């Protein structure tokens, strides 16, 4: 297993490099970068942009034809100074190579518009995204797996029909609508004000006792996590059910029952580890989706300043250091989680041996 892990870690290098190259090329072709925004600010079309510019860092971006069009009427020296300020006075290949060298040491540069290092921004926002993604995933798996097993065992029963109806209805309603409904009902919208509307913790969090901090943290997380869980466990529940139904009909199950094993032992000692392989396979992708993409609207609605919202705002404002810094972190975490998923395969079913398979 150790040799397989080493091979996978080495394979991450070209994979990560390829993803960064593709996104770099896409950004090169996209108009409206920071240079264009700054030129527009000088020409009076976007006065707010210039006020946000701090001139920090060097990274990547585009040098599209819009720079030339938007720069008409400005002195060439000023245009070159703007390009130099953002690091766009170098060729694209040189900018990319410089970027990847810095990223290899986790030096992501400085945000164009926030006057802070990207790594500091990521560290500040990461607790929110980890809280949303991790708790949502744990609760979803904790509900979906037992519910899927119950539905498989009682396939076709009244319980199976009614639970499937409820799951499909929940899945068809977006998480952000659940979030709005929860705010109206429980966060002072129209009825009760039982939960806070914004933030990860209260303003007096530092002065609370350990027990008080834990309660305060989950008090703030209750509504956002509920909104995300309600719309996220349907697919996993049906996947678990179908996986168990497929395994129940196989020959080894009939053989185990013929030997006189109890139904619970057949279900949890023989069927479980085979049926759970498909469920485990989706763990890394589910975590990444919940942590970085699925939580953007939830973070916005509940005023939770997390990684998803940071990346979205960076894309809108063309803050390239933040865009590529968060992309690098997301991709690296995703690759590591996929490796963790393979390791979990062997934990659930020791018969799987990746070294022999790739040897």
Say yes or no to pLDDT of 35 above 80. Answer: no
Taking the C-alpha atoms of residue 285 and residue 148, their distance in angstroms, rounded to an integer, is 20
Reported pTM: 0.70
Please give the residue that has the higher pLDDT: either 303 or 237: 237
Taking the C-alpha atoms of residue 159 and residue 155, their distance in angstroms, rounded to an integer, is 8
Please give the residue that has the higher pLDDT: either 356 or 170: 170
Please give the residue that has the higher pLDDT: either 75 or 121: 121
Q: What's the chain's Rg over C-alpha atoms? A: 25
The runs of H, that is alpha helices, within 43-91 are: 47-52, 65-70, 76-86
Say yes or no to pLDDT of 120 above 50. Answer: yes
pLDDT tens figures, 178-195? 888 888 888 876 777 888
| pLDDT in the model for residue 53 | 41
Percent of the chain at pLDDT above 90? 3
Give yes or no for a contact between 310 and 292, defined as CB atoms under 8 angstroms apart: no
| pLDDT in the model for residue 155 | 86
| pLDDT in the model for residue 60 | 45
| pLDDT in the model for residue 208 | 86
Phi-psi region of 303 (alpha: psi -120 to 50; beta: other; left: phi over 0): left
- Structural domains of the chain ordered from first start: 31-105 (no CATH), 119-358 (1.10.3720.10)
Say yes or no to pLDDT of 2 above 80. Answer: no
| pLDDT in the model for residue 52 | 43
Taking the C-alpha atoms of residue 227 and residue 173, their distance in angstroms, rounded to an integer, is 10
| pLDDT in the model for residue 272 | 80
Say yes or no to pLDDT of 265 above 60. Answer: yes
Taking the C-alpha atoms of residue 79 and residue 38, their distance in angstroms, rounded to an integer, is 9
Average pLDDT over residues 128-137: 84
Please give the residue that has the higher pLDDT: either 53 or 165: 165
Give yes or no for a contact between 173 and 231, defined as CB atoms under 8 angstroms apart: yes
| pLDDT in the model for residue 14 | 92
pLDDT tens figures, 211-252? 888 998 889 888 888 888 877 777 788 888 888 888 887 888
| pLDDT in the model for residue 56 | 42
| pLDDT in the model for residue 9 | 87
Nearest Cα residue to 223 out of 283, 171, 160, 178: 178
pLDDT tens figures, 51-64? 444 344 444 444 44
With cut-offs at 50, 70 and 90, classify the pLDDT of residue 46. very low
| pLDDT in the model for residue 87 | 66
């Amino acid at each position: 297993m150790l040799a397989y892990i080493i091979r996978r870690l080495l394979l991450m290098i070209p994979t990560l490099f390829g993803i960064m190259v593709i996104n770099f090329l896409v950004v090169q072709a996209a108009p409206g970068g920071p240079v264009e925004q700054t030129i527009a600010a000088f020409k009076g079309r976007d006065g707010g942009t210039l006020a946000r510019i701090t001139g920090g860092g060097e990274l990547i971006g585009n040098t599209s034809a819009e720079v030339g069009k938007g720069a008409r009427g400005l002195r060439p020296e000023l245009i070159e100074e703007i390009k130099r300020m953002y690091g766009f006075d170098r060729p694209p290949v040189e900018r990319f190579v410089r970027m990847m060298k810095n990223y290899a040491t986790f030096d992501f540069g400085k945000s164009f518009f926030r006057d802070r290092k990207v790594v500091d921004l990521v560290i500040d926002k990461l607790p929110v995204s980890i809280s949303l993604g991790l708790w949502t995933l744990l609760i979803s798996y904790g509900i979906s797996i037992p519910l899927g097993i119950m539905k498989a065992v009682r396939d076709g029963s009244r319980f199976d029909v009614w639970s499937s109806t409820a799951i499909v209805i929940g899945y068809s309603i977006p998480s952000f609508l659940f979030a709005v409904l929860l705010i109206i009902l429980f966060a002072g919208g129209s009825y009760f004000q039982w939960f806070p509307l914004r933030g990860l913790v209260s303003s007096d969090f530092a002065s609370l006792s350990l027990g008080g901090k834990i309660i305060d943290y989950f008090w703030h997380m209750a509504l956002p996590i509920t909104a995300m869980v309600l719309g996220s466990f349907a697919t996993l529940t049906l996947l678990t059910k179908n996986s168990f139904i497929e395994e129940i009909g196989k020959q080894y199950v009939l053989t185990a029952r013929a030997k006189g094993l109890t139904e619970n032992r057949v279900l949890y000692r023989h069927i479980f580890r085979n049926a759970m392989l498909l469920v485990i396979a989706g763990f890394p992708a589910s975590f990444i989706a919940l942590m970085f993409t699925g939580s953007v609207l939830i973070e916005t609605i509940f005023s939770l300043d997390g990684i998803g919202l940071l990346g979205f705002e960076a894309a809108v404002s063309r803050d390239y250091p933040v865009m590529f810094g968060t992309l690098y972190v997301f991709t690296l975490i995703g690759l590591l989680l996929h490796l963790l998923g393979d390791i979990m395969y062997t934990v659930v079913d020791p018969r799987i041996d990746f070294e022999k398979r790739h040897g």
